[in-house]
Structure formats: C-alpha cells, structure tokens
Amino acid sequence: MPEPIFSQILCFSAGAVTAILSMWLGSLVFFRLLERREQRRLLQTQLAELVSQAYEVEQWLRRLRSAELMNGPPLEESSPMNHVNMIARLFVPELRAEVKRLNGAVIAFETWVQQGVADKRESRSVTKATLERYPAIQRTVLDSITDISSKAEILVRK
C-alpha cells in the first residue's frame, strides 16, 4: 500500500514542479517580450524626436542667417544641435555617423555666416563670393538631415 501513495506523491510533485516551471518560464517570456516592446517604443519616440530636432536645426540656421546677414530679428534661442547630439549619443548610436555629418555641415554653415558678418564689417555688405557659397552649404545641411531621416526610417522598421 505504501507504494501507490509514494507513486501518487511523486506524480503530484512532478506535476507541481512542471506547473511552477511553466508559470515561471511563461512569466519570463512575457516580461522579455514586454521589455522588448517598451525598448522599441522608446527607440521610436527618440528617433521621432531626433528627426524633428534635425529639421529644426535647419530652420534655426535660416534664422541665424537672417539675424546676422539680413538684419532680421535677433536669434535668441540656442541651436537644437545639442539636443540632436544628446539623443544620438544616449539612445540611437546607430545614427552617430549621420549626426556627425550634420555637425560638420552646421559648423560650415556657421562659419559661412561669420564670413558674411566679417564682409559686412569691412564693406557694409556681404560679398558676392560669400553669397555664391550659400547654395552648396545649405545643400550639405539638407542632405545631412535627409540621411538622418532615411536611416531613422530604416531603424523604425527593424
């Protein structure tokens, strides 16, 4: 008689252990999937913010040009480029090369503006040579932003 009780206890114990392991593994898988989904949502949010700020950089550069070279309203806000850099460093390292290219384009644009300011100081107007460089410098900024946007779109789809 003791053998059937032992057998029942063994079957019951094996079933209980299996149930506990199944619940534990199910919970683990569920939380892993939830974590991945949250990471993906955070990445999508950060990508959207990075692209939005990159386009804002271009608008800021236009306002800088207007303020410094065309006697427009003074530019009071700081460049959104710092925000773009921070997002890329912290959340989207896959876009560091594209953001670095945008940084270079922004520096070239700001240097061009300073050349225009120097021209104005010397001759009261921006020289034709400086003005002729604008389309190429602007195109570099826009191409950099397009690269960021295109790669961000690829990352969202992964």
Q: Give 137-155 pLDDT, tens digit per residue.
A: 999 999 999 999 999 999 9
- The percentage of the chain sitting over the pLDDT mark of 70, rounded to a whole number, equals 96
151: left (phi over 0), alpha (psi -120 to 50) or beta: alpha
Task: Output the pTM of the full model.
Answer: 0.79
pLDDT of residue 7: 75
- Within 10 angstroms of residue 97's Cβ, the number of other Cβ atoms is 13
74-119 pLDDT, tens digit per residue, is 999 999 999 999 999 999 999 999 999 999 999 999 999 999 999 9
Sign of CA dihedral 98, 101, 105, 111: positive
Task: Report the distance separating Cα 69 and Cα 60, nearest Å.
Answer: 14
pLDDT at 1 over 60: no
